[in-house]
Amino acid sequence: MSRKYADPLRNFLHFLENPQYPSVAPHLHFIGFFGLWHPTTSKPSIFKRFLFYLIVSFFFSQYIKSFIHFDYTSLKLILQYAPWHIGIVKSCFFQKDHSRWEKLINYISRTEREQLAKNDDSLDKIINKYIGRNRRITYFFWTMAFFSNISIFTEPYQKNNIVENGTSTYLYMFDGYTPFEKEPPGYYVSMLIQTILGNILSAYIVGWDTLAFSLLIFYAGQLRVARVYCVRLIERGNKEKSHQNIASFHRFYATLLKYQKLFNNLISPVMFSYVVIISVNLGVCIIEIVQINNDFRTLISGIVYMGACLVQLLIFYWHSNDVTVESTKVSYATFECNWIGADRELQREVALIGVTTTKRLAFDAGPFNEMSLPTFLGILRGSYSFFTLLNGTN
pLDDT average, residue stretch 10-26: 81
- Integer Cα distance of 278 and 290 in angstroms: 18
Per the model's pLDDT, the better-predicted residue between 256 and 167 turns out to be 256
How confident is the model over 311-330, as pLDDT tens digits? 888 888 999 999 999 999 99
Please report which helix (H) or strand (E) contains residue 370, including its range: strand 369-370
14 DSSP assignment: G
For range 344-353, the mean pLDDT: 89
Give me the mean pLDDT over the 193-212 stretch.
89
pLDDT at 346 over 80: yes
Q: What is the spatial distance between Cα 324 and Cα 182, in angstroms, rounded to a whole number?
A: 51
Residue 16 per-residue DSSP state: G
Identify the pLDDT of residue 63.
78
How far apart, in Å, are the Cα atoms of 99 and each of 41, 87, 96, 371? 14, 19, 8, 25
102 close to 94: Cβ distance less than 8 angstroms: no
Cβ 120 vs Cβ 43: under 8 Å = no
pLDDT the model gives residue 5: 47
Residue 2 banded pLDDT, cuts 50, 70, 90:
very low
Helices (H), the chain: 9-12, 25-33, 43-68, 72-80, 82-96, 98-117, 121-159, 186-231, 239-290, 296-327, 344-356, 373-393
Weakest-pLDDT range from 12-21, 136-145, 152-161, 304-313: 152-161
How far is residue 271's CA from residue 116's CA, in Å, rounded to a whole number? 32
Whether residue 4 has pLDDT greater than 60:
no
Structure confidence at residue 12 as a pLDDT band (50, 70, 90): low
* 238 dihedral zone (left: phi>0; alpha: psi -120 to 50; beta): beta
* Per-residue pLDDT, 389: 65
Q: What is the DSSP letter of 359?
A: P
**Cα separation of 202 and 196, whole Å?**
10
- Taking all residues of the chain, what is their mean pLDDT, rounded to a whole number? 82
Q: What is the pLDDT of residue 6?
A: 45
pLDDT class of 225 with cuts at 50, 70, 90: very high
Query: What pTM, to 2 d.p., does this model score?
Result: 0.85
Is the pLDDT reported for residue 357 higher than 50? Answer: yes
List the beta bridge partners of residue 169.
162
80: closest CA among 91, 70, 72?
Answer: 72
pLDDT band (50, 70, 90) for residue 387: low
Q: Is the pLDDT of residue 175 over 60?
A: yes
**97-106, 132-141, 190-199, 274-283: which has the minimum mean pLDDT?**
274-283
Residue 360 has pLDDT above 80, yes or no: yes
Confidence of residue 286 (pLDDT cuts 50, 70, 90): confident
Q: What is the mean pLDDT of residues 159-185?
A: 68
pLDDT reported for residue 394: 54
Residue 290, C-beta contacts closer than 8 angstroms, at least 6 positions apart: 391
Confidence of residue 1 (pLDDT cuts 50, 70, 90): very low
As a whole number of angstroms, the distance between CA 17 and CA 23 comes to 9
What lies within 8 Å, CB to CB, of 142 at 6+ separation is: 30, 206, 210
* Mutual angle of helices 186-231 and 296-327, in 10-degree steps: 20
Q: Classify 137 as helix, strand or coil.
A: helix
State the helix-helix crossing angle for 239-290 and 296-327, rounded to 10 degrees: 160
Cβ–Cβ < 8 Å for 182, 156: no
Distance from the first to the final alpha carbon of the chain: 63
pLDDT single digits (tens) 77-93? 776 677 777 888 889 89
pLDDT score for 375? 84
Q: Greater confidence, 73 or 192?
A: 192
Q: Is the pLDDT of residue 214 over 60?
A: yes
